[in-house]
Amino acid sequence: PLPARDNQAPELVIEWSKEDCLTLLERIRSLLPDGDAMKYKTTESHFDWEKVCFGSFTGDMCRQKWQKVSSEVRKYRTMTELIVDAIEFVKNPYKGKKLKTHPDFPKKPLTPYFRFFMEKRAKYAKIHPEMSNLDLTKILSKKYKELPEKKKQKYITEFQREKEEFEKNMARFKEDHPELIEERKKSDLPEKPKTPQQLWYNHEKKTYMKLHPEVSQKELKEALRRQWSQLSDKRRLKWISKALELQKDYEDSMKAYHEAHPDVNSEDHVRSVLTKAERQLKDKFDGRPTKPPPNGYSLYCAELMVNMKDVPSTERMVLCSKQWKMMTQKEKDMFQKRCEQKKKQYDIDLQRFLEVRHKPLLFYYESGQIIERCREAEPEPWVPAGSPKERRDGKKTAKLPETPKTAEEMWQHSVIGDYLAKYRSDRRKAQAAMEAAWKSMEKKEKIPWIKKAAEDQKRYERELSEMRTPVAGQGQRKPKFDGEPKKPPVSGYQMFSQELLTNGELNHFSLKERMVEIGKRWHKLSQNQKDKYKKLVEEQQVEYKAELEAWVKSLSPQDRAVYKEFSSSVSFLFSLFNIFVHGSLPFGLAALKIICH
């Protein structure tokens, strides 16, 4: 009992045991309504605490104890749900974030800098009593940085000794209190790929910490962030390439995971690990052409913004929009025309880039010519090479003509700049406004655009027919002879490709995707399986050679002369092909260069 104060009766202090607290919570739960959907505060304010009291605990004492216990748990749910958290807290008050308040939890060692700070703070506070804590911290931080390595080593050694002791104590604490340690459930999802900066950070972190053992996590991150921003493009490209490789592995792992777990829906793997600047750097290094602006208005803004570096970014688009509105239609059309030219040039440059960037080539012997094709490229009909000049220029089969546009698309193309300026480059609003405007237009206004669309359709059909018509003087093909033996595959990979393409297993893929899938499956084969295909090809080649000799002998003298005329260079080119496939590739390329010139 406590002594009475100010003539008040002495107040008895009754201790609440763990069992008493759990009894209290169970009594509260039994009095809660079945369909409790009200807010916590509403339920508590209407609660009859006199019905809760038990033993020597009055209703008021029960209410006060409940308020103390409930202050430790979340209150954004109903009281019925809250009681579950309260029971869990009473059973284990140190679980989760409260773990460090446990009396047995080991104390973390002070870093070398804080040791120095705690040792010198009282001394400097006496010397400079007018200084605030912040000013004292700045002075001591500077003093510590200026400290000689020998004196600094004293604090570092003490820190490392206590750190080892802390780790041992922590391991002991986990053994003694396993119920307090929350084990996170390990997900079987593949680990997400890291960005180039994260990969570099993990690589450099250990080295930096060895040189600066006293550094804090915040200082470490800031120092490495500065180093990354100053990293040369060449060194940065190394980590960009590594990040892309890891992303590809992650995407393959995710495909396998989704096949094994079809019910799981996760689209996280779609996101790229590269920032826009890193992607541009990679494209620049690869030689990929820069994509031009989508329309005349965007081109005008891009050119205008070059001289707007001092203007705040929020005001640039507003100024561009105002300037664009002041221009005449003729000037706007000029920008649109320039944009179209840039797009056409970009298509040409991109096509060249993709052709050069092909994966390892396969060489095929066909009609007296060596033809090169990419393993993952879309199959194309065999076309004899053109003149030596065309071969030197690297020209290939023509692209399909541009798809014809509808009348509405043509009209939208001509006014897109005005609508983007009106809606401040908001494409969605601009598109919706254009569609509404087209629907509300009278037929008379639409007629000029309908005529233009019809002309564009004729242009498309004309270019398509011209493309299909063989070019005069392109070089004659070898005539077809009845009974000529069919050429077998020239490599194990070609035989493997033909098997997959003919059995219909890949029919659900597009043509390009089929070749990609074949390439992947070929790489997964063991060397023994690849050697088996190679052996089959060699056997078929021997049979084909014998059949061809017998067939040539069966031809009439006239047909044999024509056949030999078109096959005069067969033996030389076939040996050159063998150099490519089985011998020295650089030597074979050099020989082919000599022939072309």
Q: Which CATH number fits domain 407-467: 3.60.20.10, 1.10.30.10, 3.30.70.930, 1.10.530.10?
A: 1.10.30.10
pLDDT of residue 376: 38
Confirm if 579 and 591 have CB atoms less than 8 A apart. Answer: yes
Confirm if 260 and 279 have CB atoms less than 8 A apart. Answer: no
Q: Which CATH number fits domain 492-576: 1.10.30.10, 1.10.275.10, 2.130.10.10, 1.10.10.1800?
A: 1.10.30.10
Comparing C-alpha atoms, which of 479, 487, 474, 486 is closest to residue 558? 479
Residue for token pair 């995707």: 513
Backbone angles phi, psi at 278, to 5 degrees: -70, -40
| Cα 471 to chain centroid, rounded | 45
For the chain, which residues make up each domain, given as ranges? 18-91, 112-180, 196-261+272-283, 295-358, 407-467, 492-576
Comparing C-alpha atoms, which of 554, 558, 588 is closest to residue 572? 588
**Those residues with Cβ within 8 angstroms of residue 509's Cβ, 6 or more apart along the chain or in another chain:** 517
pLDDT of residue 361: 39
Identify any residues that bridge with 369 across adjacent strands, giving them in sequence order.
Answer: 366
pLDDT of residue 388: 41
How many residues in the chain? Answer: 597
Q: How far apart are CA 50 and CA 59, in angstroms?
A: 4
- In the chain the first and final C-alpha atoms are separated, in Å, by 113
**Those residues with Cβ within 8 angstroms of residue 558's Cβ, 6 or more apart along the chain or in another chain:** none
Environment class of residue 196 by beta-carbon count within 10 Å: exposed (0-12), middle (13-18) or buried (19+)? buried
Identify any residues that bridge with 372 across adjacent strands, giving them in sequence order.
Answer: 363
Comparing C-alpha atoms, which of 91, 14, 19 is closest to residue 58? 14
Backbone angles phi, psi at 418, to 5 degrees: -65, -40
Question: Which string of DSSP letters, residue by residue, matches 82-144?
Answer: HHHHHHHHHH-TTSGGGGGGSTTSPPPPPPHHHHHHHHHHHHHHHH-TTS-HHHHHHHHHHHH
The residues of the chain scoring below 50 in pLDDT are 1-11, 184, 269, 358-397, 471-476, 569-573, 576-577, 579-589, 591-597
Tell me the pLDDT tens digit for each residue of 561-586: 667 666 654 444 455 445 444 444 44
Same fold for the pair 407-467 and 492-576: yes
Amino acid letter, 330: K
Tell me the pLDDT tens digit for each residue of 121-142: 888 888 888 888 888 888 888 8
Question: Which string of DSSP letters, residue by residue, matches 471-494?
Answer: PTTS-PPPPP-TTPPPPPPSSHHH
Going by the DSSP 8-state scheme, the letter that residue 178 receives in this structure is G
pLDDT of residue 359: 43
Three-state DSSP class for residue 548: helix
Q: Which residues of 456-470 are buried (b: 16+ CB within 10 A; e: fewer)?
A: beeebeeeeeeeeee
pTM passes above 0.75? no
pLDDT of residue 76: 54
Going by the DSSP 8-state scheme, the letter that residue 49 receives in this structure is G
